[in-house]
Amino acid sequence: MTDHKVCLIITFNSPFAANIPILSELYKSRFDKIYFLIHKPEGYQNALRINGESFYFHNYFLQNLEQIRGYDYYVFTHDDAILHPRLNKHDLWERFSIPENALCVRNIDLVPRDSSWNWAWHGGYEVVDNNPQLRDLVNELHPHLCKSFLKYVAPFHQSKYSDPEKIIREQGPPLLFGGGANGDLMFMPGLAMERLMEKVSLLNFPGFFVEIVIPMAILLTDWPIYLLRTNPHAPIHNPRRGFILSKLGVITLLNRMSYHPIKFGMAHPLARKSFISLYGLIRRLGD
């Protein structure tokens, strides 16, 4: 993969532009290009303007598609997630056993109507049921979505679903697919990214929640799908705001691909400085 051009896309959930220099320092020289998608990009190099709410951040990609296209491979992450210090364009696939020809995401799951997930209704079925055009579209796409889910995703969920085909039959259309924190970490070839954005655009209806739009768009791309397994690959969600250096220790010791959430804006300046220094040291030791 060393001959390929790899682009890192960092999406900002909140307009904390002061984090851009920190992220630039952490990730410099590890990718061929880094873009920051943020509401107020003024004064920051490689920062691209976005509009809208983070609940629908798939729109951020579409708004800047012309600027970000043209690379061989893409890594998508967020400003409040931290990539492993030794994760870079040279050893990304070998270290974490990621297939080069697949569209890789954290998770895709069935979202039945009796799901306890908040977004199953708020930004999910509620939007579909109240939008006849979207409902007709999802009904039309239903066979393809289910076929792709059963082919690529269901084998990863063997312990969770004994009979996913039965669930699909019982639910019937419209049946939605989703994934918690699905957009926090994605890897994909450039051609897969182009195809994904086509499908995201197709599903880009007002109020349709991002973590339903992206998983369903992925299922429609016709690209092989690889799920980043929970251990050790997936980002971990922990609402407790632990000491920022301890989080670096966790991703290093457990060899996780990333850690979420990292709140640089809430850390003491000395803690941030120590974090950057230790992060760089670990990265250099791995080179």
Write the pLDDT tens digit of every residue in 5-16: 999 999 998 778
**Helix pair angle (19-27, 269-286), 10° resolution:** 20
In a domain, 187, yes or no: no
Q: What is the mean pLDDT of residues 20-31?
A: 91
Q: What's the pLDDT band for 238 if we cut at 50, 70, 90?
A: low
Q: Which of 105, 108, 111 lies closest to 176 in space, CA to CA?
A: 111
Which residues span the domain enclosing 244? 6-102+230-286
Q: Is the dihedral of CA 86, 89, 94, 96 positive or negative?
A: positive
Q: Is-cis flag, bond preceding 232, omega within 30?
A: yes
For 76, phi and psi rounded to 5 degrees?
-110, 130
Cβ neighbours for 132, distance < 8 A, ≥ 6 positions apart:
none
The tens digit of pLDDT for each residue in 144-177 reads: 999 999 999 998 877 677 788 998 999 999 999 9
In a domain, 98, yes or no: yes
168-194 as b/e: b if 16+ CB within 10 A? beebebbbbbbbebbbbbbbbbbebbe
Q: What is the mean pLDDT of residues 239-264?
A: 78
Number of domains in the chain: 1
In a domain, 235, yes or no: yes
In a domain, 222, yes or no: no
Cα gap 287→284, rounded to integer Å: 5
In a domain, 80, yes or no: yes
Q: Is 28 left (phi over 0), alpha (psi -120 to 50) or beta?
A: beta
Cα gap 100→231, rounded to integer Å: 20
In a domain, 224, yes or no: no
In a domain, 236, yes or no: yes
Cα gap 173→128, rounded to integer Å: 11
* pLDDT-wise least confident of 128-132, 162-166, 272-276: 162-166
Residue 203 has pLDDT above 90, yes or no: yes
In a domain, 175, yes or no: no
DSSP 28: T
